[in-house]
Structure 1
Amino acid sequence: MKNLLLIAAFCIACYSCGSGNKTLNSNNTEISKNDTIRIANDSLEYEIIIIEPGFESWLVSQPPRGFYGQSLLENKNYQWVTEYNTRVLQPAKYSPSLYTEQINYDPAIDYGYEVNYLLYNYFVYFQDKYNQKFIGGRN
């Protein structure tokens, strides 16, 4: 299965940022609510899981799905993933508790709108919540 993007990176990053208060059962099904968003495209075998308290309530206050075109989301995501990965490789300059693992995002793969929308919004949330500024800003 081609696990995408931040399954590990965001989970570890979010967990290390204080969101490790979740309890998972043996099937890795979330017991706690409102702290996890999972978007999966089983036909493409990609998924994104974001474990971050407050992200879901913040997400509903953002522009709705369809507001941004998929190509804009893909371009921003590729740009921000590249910068995020650069920061992972510079632990003396950027906090290793925020930038834990590199993200595997291939611009040649069509992850679909939902995955790109969610990843884009997580990067916006991440920048706002942790006072991080990525090249290109929000839009």
Structure 2
Amino acid sequence: MKKNDLNKLIALFLVLGLFASCTAKKEALDISTKEKEVFNSNAEEQVEIKNEETEYEITIIEPGFYTWLQSIARPEGYYSQSFLENRNRLMVINWNQRVLQPQRFNPNLYELQINYDPNIDYGYEVNYKLYNYFIYFQRKYNQRLGPFIPRI
């Protein structure tokens, strides 16, 4: 096979690959009726995420999140702390990038940066609640903060 023919073949595969990736179906989220009701709820109950030892604290005042956390999210202990830390690290990076681009991402959704230092052990509870907030947020507002589909 000539070099020119090989280059044409490679270009053809690249075009076909690009076409296939552009036409691939996005996987739809499977959101139950109960979860939709929670998303549409106006009940506000704040959720505090804090660790006294590290003096780390986030207060989430998002209608429905407390109810979602109590009734729909996986229970504490379901995920390992290392799993939660790895996912949180990735989602915080994406979150903070969106905060810095208000012309591209809705500034009403991405208001404040999150100061999450991967070298600090925030403990299980902080990582659990932060992770679940990210899942809740992505599912409710149809957002993606990483390459993973936000599943429960």
What is the TM-score when the length of structure 2 is the normalising length? 0.66
- Give the letter for the 2:77 counterpart: G
Query: What RMSD, in angstroms, separates the aligned Cα atoms of the two structures?
Result: 1.8
CA shift at 1:43, angstroms? 2.5
CA shift at 1:34, angstroms? 5.0
CA shift at 1:44, angstroms? 2.4
For structure 2, which runs of at least 5 residues remain unmatched after alignment?
1-41
Matches within 5 A, 1:48-127: 48-60=58-70, 61-127=72-138
Equivalent residues, number:
108
Runs of 4+ aligned residues of structure 1 deviating over 4 Å after TM superposition are none
The answer on 1:42 being equivalent to 2:43 is no
Rg (Cα) greater in structure: 2
CA shift at 1:39, angstroms? 3.2
Per-residue CA deviations over 1:69-107 (Å, capped at 9, x if unaligned) read: 000100100100000111111111101111112111100
Q: Distance in 1 between matches of 2:99 and 2:49?
A: 24
Q: Distance in 1 between matches of 2:106 and 2:44?
A: 26
CA shift at 1:130, angstroms? 1.1
Q: 1 or 2, which has the higher helix percentage?
A: 2
Percent of pairs identical after alignment?
56
- What is aligned with 1:10? none
Q: Distance in 2 between matches of 1:46 and 1:55?
A: 20
CA shift at 1:42, angstroms? 1.5
Which of 1 and 2 has higher RCO (CA within 8 Å, sep 6+)? 1
What is the TM-score when the length of structure 1 is the normalising length? 0.71
CA shift at 1:35, angstroms? 1.4
